[in-house]
Amino acid sequence: MKLSEAETLSAGDMIHHKTLTNADGTPMRFKVTSVKTWKTRPGEIRIGIKRGLYEYFHLNQYDLDPYDLGSE
């Protein structure tokens, strides 16, 4: 995923991991919980994502390569 694509995300969107899969072979899906951008640092972004009930993560502009926009 590119930075311009990540900036269009909003809470509730789904993103998929390109290499990690679930037990049934489908790509791991993550729900976007928040997207933070800064006016003074336009090249930076922080995306909060959730997987399952208890797994929460944060992505920044360096972690976007293995992720793709979800179809759902």
The dihedral region occupied by 48, where left means phi > 0, alpha psi between -120 and 50, and beta the remainder, is beta
Q: How many beta carbons lie within 10 A of that of residue 59, not counting itself?
A: 20
SS3 59: strand
Average of pLDDT values for 36-47? 93
- The domains located in the chain, with CATH, are 3-69 (2.30.30)
pLDDT for 72 equals 59
pLDDT for 32 equals 95
Token pair, residue 72, equals 């759902």
CA 48, CA 30: separation in Å to the nearest integer? 10
Whole-number average pLDDT of the chain: 92
Token pair, residue 62, equals 């360096």
